[in-house]
Structure 1
Amino acid sequence: MNSKFMMSAFCALVGLPLSLSAQGLATSDRVTTAPVENPEFFELDANYSFFVQNGDLPGFSASDESSAFSLYQRARVGGALNWSTLKLKVELDGVTGKLYGDDIPEVPELVRTQARQFTNLDENWVDPREIYVTWSPGLAEVRLGLMTSDFGLGLVADDGRDEDWKLFNNKWGGDRGVRLLVATKPLAAFATSRTMKNVYLGLGADVVFQDDNANFIDGDRALQFIGTIFYRDTNPANHDDTEFLGVYAAYRQQTDREVRDVTPEDELNVLALDISGSKSWTADDLWISLGAEAALLSGDTTRTYTQSGETSTSLLALGAAAEAQLTWKPANVSLKMLSGYASGDANLDDDTVYRFRFDPNYKVGLVLFDQYIPAVTRESYERVTDPTRSGEPQRGVFGLVNDGAIENAVYLNPQLLFGRPNGLMTGVGLLWAWSAEPFYDPYSTFASGGTPTGINGRSEATRDLGLEVDVAAQYRYKIVSDLTLDLKAEYGIFFPGTAFDDAQGNSAAAQSLVRARVGLSW
């Protein structure tokens, strides 16, 4: 294999994950043009959470540490003023982030990680989430200001809010933009059917404040244009019976900040097309819930060079997820299934990147996607940028680092849950995962002459990511009418698959994570 092809292949490998997390592109399906009857003039809520976490380290780095112990906290306060058809909403995070602990290996400033668990507390004394005004004259609604984004299951855009009914989740940050949004029920005034009366149309534009592709404060500039149409309805006699079906299109233009003269002001142009639907209903003693979402990304970027020498690389990626839950209400026992697909990229000979990256706040399991894969990508980054190994880092190398997002993967995650969110809830989950395309390490592949090679040295890349077992318990207790205590404990153990074998075919060591949380909500 000639050196020119090896270098081209290496550049393509480095560029695979770039730009394919399109979170923040969507408007929210939570837009409500039906005003709440007699809202209170002043609303206030707050919550505080303290996290203790200890996790094994994969062991392929030179560190002598076998595990990492960390402490985190998150404080959030929000409020609203309601006056006639106007509403002012404010929500802030403060003193939020890591109190103690190290990430190994350390991630340099060049890397565009946005996940809150990888930032220090002194960088997040005040972090605004929402500051916007809503005007609701009849069947229309206009919003202006800083607001979070969320659509469907959260595959592409997620607002970073914890969901009490999801036992295995630990969200941080959230997608935010300074947005002008106009929404209406275009058929409500003259439609005769209930379905037509609950069709919503929304148009908007925003400047991205923060997501895992851009950070306005750090110098990234991203402008988005969005449009959505969706149907949403809830049975007034039974709020457990709901329906939602929506589509949206969003176009994003972004210019990256220049960092230390290593990464120039690259551009990103992406069109996202998303469809999502969900339905829940009761049948005798059963409650049934189904949901699905699929997203297609298309565009181009100059973040990495193509093999032909062009300065722009095409992007084309697909992601999908489905969720189903069956609950037997007399015993509060639930069987839940999560499944999903994120496209990978196996062809190094073309000028198109096919890898899809989920929003990092869409959580599946505790260890593989949230801890292990990010550690693997940070190690890959260390190897690629080590001057004793590869000399000058390649263009776009920061895109290697994953913040905990599902990418290049196919997974199944059955869960068995007991109890209810407003009380004691326990559960166990199994996670089987495979890569959509063979899983390999960019540097090891380059060093082996272009033969796809795993992070631990396996010379034949495979798709077997491994098996994970998770258990969790949470308890919510109302101390007084407006004050609730939240307790949660989680444990996960991941058994790496053959994709992480070493050169002799030996399996990588099992990786475990223990996390506990204490929170107060008011």
Structure 2
Amino acid sequence: MKAFVFALACAALCAGCPRFHPGPLPGAPTDATFVDVDGVHVRYRELGQGPAVVLLHGFSASLESWAGVAPVLAQDHRVIALDLKGFGWTTRPEGDYSPAAQAELVWHVLDKLGVKDVAIVGHSWGTSVALSMAVAHPERTRRVALYSAYVYDEQVPSFLRWAQVGGIGELLFSLFYTERIEDRAPLAYVDERFVTQPRVERVEEDLARPGTVAGALATARGHHFAALHQALVGFDKPVLLLWGENDLVTPIRFAYRLREELANAELKVYPRCGHIPMVEARTSSTRDLVAFLADKGAQHDDNGNADNAEGSGSAGGAGSGSGDDRGVTGDQGGGGAGGGARGGGTATVLPVETRRLTPAEEDFALPLGADLAALGAELTPRQYAAPREKTEVVVHGSLRIREAGLYNLDLDRGLDAQGQPIYPVPLGGGQMMRAGDLRARTDAAFYAPGVGVAVKARIDWLDNIALGGEPDLAGGSPATSRGQRPTTVVIKRAWGEVLTPAGTLAVGRMGAHFGLGIAANGGDCEDCDGGDAADRFAFVSPIAGHFLALSYDIAARGPFTPSRDGGHPISLESTTAVGGPTVSILKTHSPATLVRRAAAGLTSVEYAAYVSRRTQDNDVPATYLPTATQMFTSADLVGRGFAATATGGWLRISGARFRIEAEVAYLNATLDQPSLIPGTAITVPVTSSQLGAAVQTAFTFGPMQLGVDAGYASGDDAPGFGAFPTPGQVAPPAGSFDGAQANPPRDRTVDNFRFHPDFRIDQILFREIIGTITDAVYLRPSMRATLARVGTGRLEAIATLIVSRAVEATSTPSGASALGTELDPELRYAARDGFAINLAYGLLLPGAAFDGTMLAAQPAQSLRLRVGFAF
């Protein structure tokens, strides 16, 4: 952690402290109009004639926020929209950026434009400027409209609170203020279709202008609103509050609170709308604003309470009717359900404006906790969100049922050199074997009140339990079983996350995944069985358009002894611990961002690299050998001297109609003392140098997708594939199917790279017979076509051809290189509501590598059915 803090400090020094920019900004639009006031070059835009209305944007925004509102207001008003100091095209001089100072600047601009009285409209942080203007000159203020008001100290997010501390603010804003706009932007919307790529790029361009970071920091340090609320006591001008019911930046509870504090306030609430009602609920909110400014939307009773002309009832429930920002001209009335409205005004909940964005494409999806970049991206937006009021629980899960028929997977080639078949054979001597299993999985996330604290877990209620397994034998035999016995629940992951000013800290047992998953694989795919979970301390920070991830894994410890009270285990020897650090740098986009960029015709380039180190000084083989005991002494301790370094890279280039993705991994290790027997030393070290690589491609042509994949896993010249060696296994003779790859002191290398078993490319050879991709090179062309759209889903046909060869011919049972050719057709139906069903057939034509001494290898077949339910 010290090294990370030092790196951040160095980066900040290199970047320099945020600098103001007092002069005109380069590149301003040629049609932009400016007025010079108090040493500030203020950009403004003026439309229409009539009573004056001034529009004030929010934090990190500009007058462009009102593009859909200003032309409508200009039909009956003189509309003046401006860029506040520090934002848009207005200059960024050093000075006071508090709401009161901004309000004074706006009044001076209005003075220069000859405006005497005005209606003030503000959005988000701009509402604090609007109210500051109103209380400073109530005699010049006709009325005030506030969109998603940001006027309470409790609304200030943790990132901006930390930034108010001298020195820390400069560091945080220099490093992080402009980071991950693509992830932060969706926080303002319910419907992410409004988060268009041009809109994201415009925000990024605005933030890149000279002096913007310094101006934003100065503005953040003015986020103190207590004095404003004191000044609002007795303020009785008409106020309209316009609020999105699903606002995450300024939650709806602040709307009710503000309405209570203001003497003459009316509240409009828009369902399925986030932080920007003038965009996401443009038609309805603009209509309400026009009526309010014309004083046609509300009548007042003798008590000063506003009666709504469009409907009755209090906020807290959704009104009925319809409305749409894309052409519907009117709302149909309706009252909301009771609850939450009281005091000096009314609240009307208006109809739903739009529907949700459909989920991102499956090609880009990756569950949180499986990937450090996803972990960082998920909590990064919370830096800019208001605190949660209560604990939130988010649950996702799935139920998977699989049934398979496996025919002749021993290839009828006889026994290998060790007298074993290459695959289990039926007890009765037939050809067919069956396999079926059931998995029920839940991924749960618990978000604490406040900002950026979460606890997450993966729970498998049924963990690949065999169909028909664990029969109830109350009747005396399986034949009279009445069902299955209960099984043990398995908690595979449990970890906590906390958002710090500089990034996300995660601690616990969490998923481990990188790139395509050839080395580290979280096992999160539909057909995966295992998956890696690491006991890890991790810190992820967004910096310079990338994620910097630092982690330390504790892979193994032991042996253990219980504490005196039996409450926790204690490791008997610290030098037997296995673990080490990992440093990675990642440039990634979220799934929604990739879909958005593809829709805009952009090509996305993502990449990542890592270096990982793992060591172990000593070992106690008695803890894991078949002869393991529960009592350990110093005589069980064996010197090990293990050190390994893994490095890898990942690249993905994708667009609307293509995806090219690749991963490479290299592992180098040294084992100084490979003996497993205490007191017996092997003085010649064993070394390992392994290389693995995989490439995936997909090109879309209408309803069809074509691709060519390839992969390479380095081999070792020892007999056997070395896919699943066991401790203490002796070196196999030539002609063996599997076995240990090292045989000290003669053979001191283990160079076969083993792909993760959950990285699957076929149905039979690597998935079932060998068990993983190792000591092989393969080519895999594929085709996917949409046959029909049925209901909420689509029916697809998939065909894959896999041709593979051994890297080291001496590893195969026959000494030949050709592993075989496999054809895997598949039918798949997947619905958007979470239901999916797959029927996959596999045909393996084995190559000469599997021929026996007397018998040639024969074809193998498989037929698999998978049914899935996701929520």
Rounded to whole Å, the distance in 2 between the matches of 1:343 and 1:54 is 31
Whether the 8 Å CA contact 2:646–2:665 is kept in 1: the answer is yes
Which structure is larger by alpha-carbon Rg, 1 or 2? 2
1:352 aligns with 2:718: no
Q: Which residue of 2 aligns with 1:324?
A: 697
Rounded to whole Å, the distance in 1 between the matches of 2:765 and 2:394 is 39
> 1:418, CA displacement in angstroms?
1.0
Quickly say closer, same or farther: Cα 1:96–1:350, change in 2 above 3 A: closer
> 1:262, CA displacement in angstroms?
8.2
Select 1:227's aligned residue among 583, 590, 605: 583
Q: Which residue of 2 aligns with 1:518?
A: 867
Write the deviation string for residues 49-98 of structure 1: whole angstroms up to 9, x where unpaired: 11101112314337513221121011101211224121221221122124
Rounded to whole Å, the distance in 2 between the matches of 1:344 and 1:474 is 35
Q: Which residue of 2 aligns with 1:73?
A: 438
Secondary structure of 1:355's counterpart equals coil
Higher helix share: 2
Q: What number of residue pairs does the alignment pair up? A: 396
Q: Which residue of 2 aligns with 1:28?
A: 372
Rounded to whole Å, the distance in 2 between the matches of 1:249 and 1:123 is 43
Quickly say closer, same or farther: Cα 1:143–1:335, change in 2 above 3 A: same
Q: Which residue of 2 aligns with 1:112?
A: none
Cα RMSD (Å)? 3.2
- Which residue identity does 1:466 align to in structure 2? G
Quickly say closer, same or farther: Cα 1:288–1:27, change in 2 above 3 A: closer
- Which residue identity does 2:803 align to in structure 1? W
Select 2:821's aligned residue among 461, 467, 489: 467
Note the 1:396-475 alignment, pairs <5 A. 404-419=771-786, 423-440=794-811, 454=813, 458=814, 461-475=815-829
- Which residue identity does 1:47 align to in structure 2? S
Write the deviation string for residues 22-60 of structure 1: whole angstroms up to 9, x where unpaired: xxxx96343324326869922111211111011123143
- Which residue identity does 1:292 align to in structure 2? A
Quickly say closer, same or farther: Cα 1:261–1:439, change in 2 above 3 A: same
1:144 aligns with 2:144: no
Note the 1:250-399 alignment, pairs <5 A. 250-253=612-615, 255=619, 257-261=623-627, 267=640, 268-282=642-656, 287-301=657-671, 302-303=673-674, 310=683, 312-328=685-701, 331-346=702-717, 350-373=747-770
- Which residue identity does 1:31 align to in structure 2? L
Rounded to whole Å, the distance in 2 between the matches of 1:81 and 1:262 is 40
Secondary structure of 1:372's counterpart equals helix
User: More deviation in 89-98 or 426-435?
Assistant: 89-98
1:172 aligns with 2:172: no
Quickly say closer, same or farther: Cα 1:81–1:281, change in 2 above 3 A: same
Whether the 8 Å CA contact 2:503–2:540 is kept in 1: the answer is yes
Q: Which residue of 2 aligns with 1:132?
A: 495
User: 5+ unaligned residues in a row in structure 2: which ranges?
Assistant: 1-369, 415-420, 470-483, 558-568, 630-635, 719-741
Note the 1:496-511 alignment, pairs <5 A. 496-504=846-854, 506-511=855-860
Rounded to whole Å, the distance in 2 between the matches of 1:72 and 1:96 is 9
Note the 1:93-242 alignment, pairs <5 A. 93-100=460-467, 125-162=488-525, 170-187=527-544, 198-208=545-555, 222-233=578-589, 234=593, 237-238=596-597, 241-242=603-604
> 1:501, CA displacement in angstroms?
1.2
User: More deviation in 359-368 or 132-141?
Assistant: 132-141
Write the deviation string for residues 252-311 of structure 1: whole angstroms up to 9, x where unpaired: 2355643223898885532101111111013xxxx1111111111111235579xx9535
Q: Under a length normalisation based on structure 1, what TM-score does the superposition of the two structures give?
A: 0.69
- Which residue identity does 2:505 align to in structure 1? V
Q: Which residue of 1 aligns with 2:834?
A: 484
Write the deviation string for residues 201-238 of structure 1: whole angstroms up to 9, x where unpaired: 1111122389xxxxxx9x99632321111222445842
- Which residue identity does 2:612 align to in structure 1? A
Secondary structure of 1:352's counterpart equals coil
Rounded to whole Å, the distance in 1 between the matches of 2:694 and 2:650 is 9
Whether the 8 Å CA contact 2:376–2:542 is kept in 1: the answer is no
Whether the 8 Å CA contact 1:258–1:265 is kept in 2: the answer is no
> 1:173, CA displacement in angstroms?
1.9
> 1:124, CA displacement in angstroms?
7.0
Whether the 8 Å CA contact 1:467–1:495 is kept in 2: the answer is yes
Rounded to whole Å, the distance in 2 between the matches of 1:41 and 1:239 is 32
- Which residue identity does 1:495 align to in structure 2? L
- Which residue identity does 1:356 align to in structure 2? F
Quickly say closer, same or farther: Cα 1:299–1:75, change in 2 above 3 A: same
Secondary structure of 2:372's counterpart equals coil
Rounded to whole Å, the distance in 2 between the matches of 1:507 and 1:367 is 18
Q: Under a length normalisation based on structure 2, what TM-score does the superposition of the two structures give?
A: 0.42
Quickly say closer, same or farther: Cα 1:408–1:124, change in 2 above 3 A: farther
Q: Which residue of 2 aligns with 1:116?
A: none
Rounded to whole Å, the distance in 2 between the matches of 1:48 and 1:239 is 32
Rounded to whole Å, the distance in 1 between the matches of 2:668 and 2:468 is 39
Write the deviation string for residues 321-369 of structure 1: whole angstroms up to 9, x where unpaired: 11111012xx321001110100011278552221110111111111110
Rounded to whole Å, the distance in 2 between the matches of 1:314 and 1:274 is 19
> 1:436, CA displacement in angstroms?
0.7
User: More deviation in 252-261 or 47-56?
Assistant: 252-261
Write the deviation string for residues 132-187 of structure 1: whole angstroms up to 9, x where unpaired: 11112345111111100011111110100116xxxxxx211210012110111233
> 1:439, CA displacement in angstroms?
4.6
Whether the 8 Å CA contact 1:27–1:227 is kept in 2: the answer is no
Higher strand share: 1
User: 5+ unaligned residues in a row in structure 1: which ranges?
Assistant: 1-25, 103-120, 164-169, 188-197, 211-216, 374-403, 442-453
Secondary structure of 1:370's counterpart equals helix
Whether the 8 Å CA contact 1:500–1:508 is kept in 2: the answer is yes
Whether the 8 Å CA contact 2:717–2:810 is kept in 1: the answer is no
- Which residue identity does 1:230 align to in structure 2? L
